[in-house]
Amino acid sequence: MDAFDHLLHGFSVAAQPLNLAYVFLGCLLGTVIGVLPGIGPAAAIALLLPITYGIEPTSSLIMLCGIYYGAMYGGSTTSILINTPGESSSVMTALDGYAMARSGRAGAALAISAIASFVAGTISVVLLSLLAVPLAGFALKFGPAEYFTLMLFAMTSVAALTGPSLAKGLLSMFLGLMFATIGIDLQSGQQRFTFDLPELQDGIGFIVVVVGLFAIAEVFSGLEDLLKGRSEIIRMSGSLWLTREEWRRSVMPILRGTGIGFFKGVLPGAGATIATILSYSVERMLSREKAKFGTGMIEGVAGPEAANNASTGGAMVPLLTLGVPGSGSTAVLLAAFIMYGLQPGPLLFEKRPDLVWGLIASMYIGNLVLLVLNLPLVGVFVRLLYIPIGLLLPMVVSISAIGIFAVNGNIFELYLALGFGVIGYVFRKLAVPVAPLVLSLVLGGMMEQSFRQAMTISGADPGVFVRSPICISLLAASVLALSIPFVAPLLRRLVAQPAAA
Amino acid sequence: MNASSAKPAAPAPALRRLPAVLLLVATLATAAAYLRATLELPYPELADPLGPKIFPILVSGGLFLCALLMVVDLWRTRDGRVPVLLEGNQPFDLRSTLMVAGITAWTALYFFVFERAGFVLSTAVFLAGLMSVFNAGHRVANLCTAAGFTIGAWVLFTRVLSVRLPQGILPF
């Protein structure tokens, strides 16, 4: 069976009326949550997870993926209308999108954002469909040592690329690994760092951490912003349709943004964020009107929006084929898979092709749903921005409480989430990225098992991690990622010196 | 009037570096406490050759490495330049800190009574309290929103989605 046959089979799963309803619901809820200022895809998935508890895994994951890309899309609406990106990957959209809105072209900015997202999202899912089978086949060559080095690469890339300080990125990563070691050790049955609390025997649940770090911390930050005064909300104005000139100027940025976004999404690290920055820089570099960027250039919205949404398809490639996520949001998706007793990776393609290909097919449908939802209904979503923050954020705390309590019915986990909320708030103040923590918390257990299995197989010889070409390549890539924060400023200085001379 | 006297006083260099120093101290303390807790773990009778301590020891080593990177950053910028550690930082101020402490205490109280008083009662009171502070001057709207949201969420999660929420002292 080739990719096309698999995909046809996937469409027969995704097009079932119930699954179509879940795609629609996921996209709708994701967009609604994504529109709310400050709440990004990771928090959206974690907050809405309780809704999926009673649903069959395939339908549930179809809905969660809809929430993921719906929230990715929804973030751009807040960027354009209130200059408050829902997450870092929407920051570049705000530069020209908000300027367009201020000059009465909010409708055009939102329209190009929806169209660019649709085109990029669809192309990236086509690429995902083509790459899935060969990559899943390649992943069958992976043993414990290869998996350990792969996870090390994913974590170090995210830690090195999510902020200006390598120390802070690594701190976040090691804290995540530290939290992952809490609970019963799977190989020896020994309790570790549980302080004799039975609630900690199963470890710290990812929902507790994600809801705390993203949702509750956002409540603290949002209410603090409220105390200090918030930015002006631009009323939606101007036609939702683009002029012929705007169409002409948007086509190439969308295609270039799609390529950049997909490629960056496949690689672990700050995929979507770096993709949007790269796309914006490329568009500015290629433009004859460089000075006008930041004043409402449609290329500055079309390119980054395409890159942002193409990276979601790209990010699904390592998640589905290797079982290793490359970002905080996909780490939460992986945790959702595990919660349903499913381990993404090559074996899932063999054991549950209906689920994997149904999920991939649902993304084609989801992109279409997002376009249909967002062009005519953007005015409705925008109204969410007019809900007073003082009403909205307290409700987020209650939804968080429901989401956490619904998992185990455990009050202790609510206190833990509150603690992680405070940690998340302090991290924001100190500009410590939280994505490495979430990623390493989710991957930490698997990483430790792979490490110990590889060492046991090799008779405790650490040379096992440099024996295969895959391990060597991944270790070299990890070293390269860790060296970027040191090398990039040197390169910038070298480039700047001749220019100054 | 002297021009410089009109500008707000910039914090002294040592004070400006304080958050970075505190982060370093917190990192060192966490690494040391974690390493100590790891070394105190008993060795199980049945385990793989490496045992349950090796991975946490490597992680604590990583935390010490982070502290070392922070020391290097602070040492390189001892001449008054801004350390990379401080890039992107937002200043802490007393008013915000007190506000976050207040919300944390109120939320902790909410969680404390969540099971005892039940979802409906605790959530309605929690929301009404927080909304009355952060959406002040709209008493009726706040009360209606708190009650409406609570009942709506209760019906959606318990009746439609079959999610178990604490009943508490109320008969439903």
Q: Retrieve residue A73's tokens.
A: 């899309």
Window 39-78 of B: residues touching A by CB (8 A cutoff) are 41-42, 44, 46-52, 54-56, 59-60, 62-63, 65-66, 69-70, 73
* pLDDT for residue A378: 75
For the cut 70, the answer to whether the pLDDT of residue A142 exceeds it is: yes
Instruction: Quote the CA–CA distance of B73 and B76 in Å, as a whole number.
Output: 5
Q: In this complex, do B108 and A415 lie within 8 Å of one another by their Cβ atoms?
A: yes
Instruction: Work out the pLDDT band at A351, boundaries 50, 70, 90.
Output: confident
* pLDDT for residue A80: 83
| Per-residue model confidence as pLDDT tens digits over B117-149 | 999 999 999 999 999 999 988 999 999 999 999
Instruction: Quote the CA–CA distance of B161 and B156 in Å, as a whole number.
Output: 6
Instruction: Quote the CA–CA distance of A23 and A366 in Å, as a whole number.
Output: 6
Instruction: Work out the pLDDT band at A173, boundaries 50, 70, 90.
Output: very high
Instruction: Quote the CA–CA distance of B172 and B170 in Å, as a whole number.
Output: 6
Which residues have C-beta within 8 Å of that of residue B11, sequence separation ≥ 6?
none
Average the pLDDT over each of A80-89, A104-113, B68-77 and give the range with the smallest value.
A80-89
Q: Retrieve residue A424's tokens.
A: 């998340």
Quote the crossing angle between the two packed helices A353-383 and A17-35, to the nearest 10°: 40
Contacting residues of B for A228, CB less than 8 Å apart? 96
- Cα distance from B76 to chain A (closest Cα, Å)? 13
* pLDDT for residue A417: 95
Interface test with A, best of B40, B103, B121, B167 (most A CBs within 10 A): B103
Q: What average pLDDT does the structure give for chain B?
A: 86
Name the residue ranges covered by the structural domains of chain A: 3-500
Contacting residues of A for B161, CB less than 8 Å apart? 50-51, 53-54
Q: Which of A35-39, A160-164, A441-445, B108-112 has the highest mean pLDDT?
A: B108-112
* pLDDT for residue A172: 94
Which residues have C-beta within 8 Å of that of residue A46, sequence separation ≥ 6?
A206, A207, A210, A211, A214, A215, A332, A403
Instruction: Work out the pLDDT band at A394, boundaries 50, 70, 90.
Output: very high
Q: Is B87 within 8 Å of chain A by CB? A: yes
* Mean pLDDT, residues B65-81 taken together: 88
For the cut 50, the answer to whether the pLDDT of residue B4 exceeds it is: no
Q: Which of A173, A395, A459 sits opposite B149 (nearest CB)?
A: A395
Chain pair A-B, CB pairs under 8 angstroms: 187
- Cα distance from A388 to chain B (closest Cα, Å)? 7
Q: Which of A393, A406, A422 sits opposite B104 (nearest CB)?
A: A422
* pLDDT for residue A361: 94
Instruction: Work out the pLDDT band at A230, boundaries 50, 70, 90.
Output: low
* pLDDT for residue A408: 83
Q: In this complex, do A418 and B44 lie within 8 Å of one another by their Cβ atoms?
A: no
| Per-residue model confidence as pLDDT tens digits over A447-478 | 999 999 999 888 888 899 999 999 999 999 99
Q: Is B152 within 8 Å of chain A by CB? A: no
The complex scores an ipTM of 0.89
Q: What average pLDDT does the structure give for chain A?
A: 86
Amino acid letter for position A372: V
Instruction: Quote the CA–CA distance of B24 and A192 in Å, as a whole number.
Output: 25
Contacting residues of A for B110, CB less than 8 Å apart? 397, 401
Q: How far is CA B145 from the centre of its chain?
A: 27
Instruction: Work out the pLDDT band at B99, boundaries 50, 70, 90.
Output: very high
* Nearest residue on chain B to A188, alpha-carbon basis: B47
* pLDDT for residue B1: 36
Q: Is B140 within 8 Å of chain A by CB? A: no
* Mean pLDDT, residues A101-106 taken together: 82
* pLDDT for residue A317: 87
In chain A, how many H helices and how many E strands?
Answer: 20, 2
- For A419, counting Cβ atoms within 10 Å of its Cβ (0-12 exposed, 13-18 middle, 19+ buried), the class is middle
For the cut 60, the answer to whether the pLDDT of residue A233 exceeds it is: no
Q: pLDDT higher for A336 or A493?
A: A336
Average the pLDDT over each of A271-280, A425-434, B91-100 and give the range with the smallest value.
A271-280
* pLDDT for residue A232: 56
Instruction: Quote the CA–CA distance of B25 and A41 in Å, as a whole number.
Output: 33
Instruction: Work out the pLDDT band at A53, boundaries 50, 70, 90.
Output: confident
Residues above pLDDT 90, as percent of chain A: 31
Q: Which of A84-98, A238-252, B49-63 has the highest mean pLDDT?
A: B49-63
* Nearest residue on chain A to B23, alpha-carbon basis: A430
* pLDDT for residue A498: 60
Q: Which of B42, B87, B163 sits opposite A165 (nearest CB)?
A: B87
Q: pLDDT higher for A240 or A390?
A: A390
Contact A122, A445 (CB under 8 A): no
- Cα distance from B25 to chain A (closest Cα, Å)? 13
Amino acid letter for position A214: F
* Nearest residue on chain B to A229, alpha-carbon basis: B134
Q: Which of these, A65, A99, A94, A100, lies nearest to A77 by C-alpha position?
A: A94
Quote the crossing angle between the two packed helices B139-154 and A389-408, to the nearest 10°: 20
- Cα distance from B52 to chain A (closest Cα, Å)? 7
Q: In this complex, do B41 and A452 lie within 8 Å of one another by their Cβ atoms?
A: no
* pLDDT for residue B5: 42
Contact A310, A72 (CB under 8 A): no
Instruction: Quote the CA–CA distance of A238 and A252 in Å, as a whole number.
Output: 24
Q: In this complex, do B126 and A398 lie within 8 Å of one another by their Cβ atoms?
A: yes
Q: In this structure, what are the phi and psi dihedrals at residue A296, rounded to the nearest 5 degrees?
A: 115, 40
* pLDDT for residue B6: 47
* Nearest residue on chain B to A404, alpha-carbon basis: B165
Q: Retrieve residue A63's tokens.
A: 């809905």
Q: In this complex, do B127 and A398 lie within 8 Å of one another by their Cβ atoms?
A: yes
Q: In this complex, do B103 and A451 lie within 8 Å of one another by their Cβ atoms?
A: no
Instruction: Work out the pLDDT band at B18, boundaries 50, 70, 90.
Output: confident
> How far apart are the two ends of chain A, measured CA to CA in Å?
61
| Per-residue model confidence as pLDDT tens digits over A256-304 | 999 999 988 887 665 677 788 889 988 988 888 878 888 888 999 999 9
Residues above pLDDT 70, as percent of chain B: 90
* Mean pLDDT, residues A181-199 taken together: 88
Contact A68, A74 (CB under 8 A): no
Contacting residues of A for B49, CB less than 8 Å apart? 455-456, 459-460
* pLDDT for residue B3: 40
Q: In this complex, do A174 and B52 lie within 8 Å of one another by their Cβ atoms?
A: no
Average the pLDDT over each of A214-218, A363-367, B9-13, B27-31 and give the range with the smallest value.
B9-13
SS (H, E, C) A217-235: HHHHHHHHHHHHCCCCCCC
Letter string b/e over residues B137-149, b meaning 16 or more CB atoms within 10 A of that residue's CB: eeeeebeebbeeb
* Nearest residue on chain A to B89, alpha-carbon basis: A430
Instruction: Work out the pLDDT band at A220, boundaries 50, 70, 90.
Output: very high
CA atoms within 13 A on the CB side of A252: 8
Count of beta carbons in the 10 Å neighbourhood of residue B46: 8
Helices (H), A409-468: 411-429, 435-457
Q: In this complex, do B111 and A50 lie within 8 Å of one another by their Cβ atoms?
A: no
Q: In this structure, what are the phi and psi dihedrals at residue B170, rounded to the nearest 5 degrees?
A: -80, 150
Interface test with A, best of B66, B72, B155 (most A CBs within 10 A): B66
pTM: 0.84
* pLDDT for residue A236: 58
- Cα distance from A395 to chain B (closest Cα, Å)? 7
* pLDDT for residue A179: 96
Q: Is B134 within 8 Å of chain A by CB? A: yes
* pLDDT for residue A340: 85
Contacting residues of B for A227, CB less than 8 Å apart? 95-96, 99
* Mean pLDDT, residues A482-486 taken together: 85
